[in-house]
Amino acid sequence: MASVGYEYSLDHQLRRKIQVQHVENEVTKEQTILPKFEDLPLGKDDPPYSAWGLWGDNDEVGTVRLLTPARVARGAQEIREGLRYSLNWSLNSPTTPGFGRSHYPFCHTLHCDTPGLLVFDDSITFNTQKSTQWDGLRHFAYQKEQKFYQGVSKAEILAPGSTKLGLQNVDKQGGIAGRAVLLDYAAYAESVGYIYDALSHSISFEELMACVRYQEEISGESMTFLTGDVLIVRCGYTKQYLTLGKEQEEEAGKHLPPLSCGVGQDVRLLKWLWDHHFSAVAGDSPSFESFPPNEDAGFLFHEVLLAGWGCPIGEMLWLEDLSKSCMEKKRYSFFVASSPLNIEGGVASPANMMAIL
């Protein structure tokens, strides 16, 4: 992994300009040079592991910038058979959203009130993080510092007319599209006879790396992760959710503290994510990372990915059909395309996402 050494005795702002210059110059060559993980945070007074200023002091896009035209075109080469898979769970699911979102009921209403014409309209009211969705950069701050990506404050976001860090920035980039890689932890666990609770299990770094080796054995080749890839982790949440009875479903959604299966907080995994320079990460659980978190880790992935790196997090993706196809085809890379809602100042959005093999 190429990296550049920086003189950390330079003024903070000057130092950032040097880093940004390296990134902007190299992106045109499709050889993005980024700081080492050990160099984070970039500013001595910035929150742990943050990369504020890497793309410029006024950046509101973050790692989606890694999806350059050449990388998107490269990702399209993953389309070999034209098999399409929707990664969107029904907006009706889950019935009882977790993390306090059950207070915002989903409502779909039909309207047939146009005089002289038999036509239907419909309206939908829902929390944008109810089902399959992207967390945008307005969603989660560094909790101790109370700062969002680039040091943006709560007051800046709530200022009248503010669209700071809103989802419109992703739309201006053309959405999220490119090469993606699936790590099917649920399939790996089943292959070794490991039974776990897919509503709350914390996937360890060792388990995730074992999943990589398992998939390499299936495919007969080393798994390759390229700069700008979208990383997708299947833990089996949606599959287990569909087996729940009414009382079990409601209990899971209203459990306090909130429960979620996902990757466990581990600095080794954080470094692995940074070193591979993913443009976004996603999974089939409500939070991508496990909750309650491992407090000994000293960080949350939501803090570092969203507020530190500007890296979108996708949650509650429907991965069951894609998983079966990947297993059948013995390949785990494919093309994805996602067009989040173009909402000025939007916090989150349905993913509107598909995979093509």
φ and ψ at 162, to 5 degrees?
A: -70, 135
CB-based contact 265:293 (threshold 8 Å): yes
- Model pLDDT, residue 32: 64
- 3-state class of 159 per DSSP? coil
pLDDT in tens, 257-296: 888 999 999 999 999 999 999 999 999 999 999 999 999 9
- Model pLDDT, residue 30: 56
Spell out the residues 6+ positions from residue 296 whose beta carbon is closer than 8 angstroms to its own: none
CB-based contact 185:203 (threshold 8 Å): yes
The string over 122-146, giving b where at least 16 C-beta atoms fall within 10 Å of a residue's C-beta and e elsewhere, is eeeebbbbbbbbbbbbbbbbbeebe
- Model pLDDT, residue 259: 87
DSSP lists the bridge partners of residue 356 as 84, 335
CB-based contact 323:331 (threshold 8 Å): no
For 155, counting Cβ atoms within 10 Å of its Cβ (0-12 exposed, 13-18 middle, 19+ buried), the class is exposed
- Model pLDDT, residue 233: 98
- Model pLDDT, residue 187: 98
Q: What is the pTM for the complete model shown?
A: 0.90
CA distance 231 to 233: 7
pLDDT in tens, 247-258: 999 888 888 888
pLDDT averaged over 10-residue windows placed end to end, the chain, 357 residues: 32 42 41 87 96 96 97 97 97 85 84 94 91 96 97 97 97 97 98 95 98 97 96 97 93 86 98 98 96 94 98 98 98 98 96 97
Spell out the residues 6+ positions from residue 204 whose beta carbon is closer than 8 angstroms to its own: 264, 266
Give the pair of three-digit tokens for residue 98. 């977790």
- Model pLDDT, residue 33: 80
CA distance 219 to 230: 19
